[in-house]
Amino acid sequence: MFFGVTHIDVPVTGFARAEAFWGKLIGLKEVKRGEGFIDLDSGSVILRLLQVQQVTRPVSLRVSVPDVQRAYELLIQSGGRALYEVQRTPALELEAHVADPDGNSVIVWRELSEDEYGFVPELPKLGEWTTEAETLFNELLAYVPALFRSMARRKVTRIIEEVAGYDGSAVTREHVIRGYILSSAKIKRDRLIEPLKKCGIDPDKYQEEFDA
């Protein structure tokens, strides 16, 4: 019955300043123009700048950016009105709110990386782990780039618990080390040597896992 969202109507009282703000500043490309409207391509849906006499129902749009502070400052310098300065949200996002010249709200945002959380996320454990095992695994995960750490946490936790399952015991430091090595493709295991050494582990003792 429904084919998905195609357009979001953005009410504006003047095309010139609206085009400057949404087109030139934010970088949306015009794809169509008609009687009382201009369509701009946002990459996912079309923003339709809709000419009105007065904006009575402003809209709120979220715009993904790599640098929230820089985007916020640029919007302000280009005629936007500050609503909320850059802030960290409970959803682990960084965002700032600015109003366009017609009062429509623009939220510039990005997700925080794990290095910015300020805490270590819980492991997706299903079984029992010793405190030493969990501590070691979190230390090893710290050497994984933040962008890939969440995925690595899920994958390696599962493999570590599989290794422990063969022994019918709670997860120990030994299970963490063996599972950590086995979870990586054989051709890439050499890159695990340095993190293991930094955690006080002799990789030579686990040659069997490196060769598996």
Q: Quote the pTM value.
A: 0.77
Pairing status of strand 105-111 against strand 60-64: parallel
Work out the mean pLDDT of the chain and round it to a whole number: 93
67 pLDDT higher than 90: yes
For position 44, what pLDDT does the model report? 87
Domains, the chain, with CATH or none: 7-112 (3.10.180.10), 131-211 (no CATH)
184-193 burial: b if 16+ Cβ within 10 Å, else e: beeeebeebe
- The C-alpha atoms of residue 165 and residue 161 are separated, in whole angstroms, by 6
> Tens digits of per-residue pLDDT, 166-190?
999 999 999 999 999 999 999 999 9
1 pLDDT higher than 90: no
Helix H or strand E segment including 81: strand 81-88
> Tens digits of per-residue pLDDT, 122-140?
999 999 999 999 999 999 9
Across the range 89-107, mean pLDDT stands at: 95
Spell out the alpha helix ranges (H) of 121-172.
131-141, 146-167
- The C-alpha atoms of residue 160 and residue 64 are separated, in whole angstroms, by 36
For position 2, what pLDDT does the model report? 81
Three-state secondary structure along 95-130?
EEEEECCCCCEEEEEEECCHHHCCCCCCCCCCCCEC
Whether residue 11 contacts residue 52, with contact meaning beta carbons closer than 8 Å, is answered with: yes
* Tokens read off for 29: 């490309």
Across the range 77-100, mean pLDDT stands at: 95
Q: What angle do CA 11, 13, 16 make, to 5 degrees?
A: 105
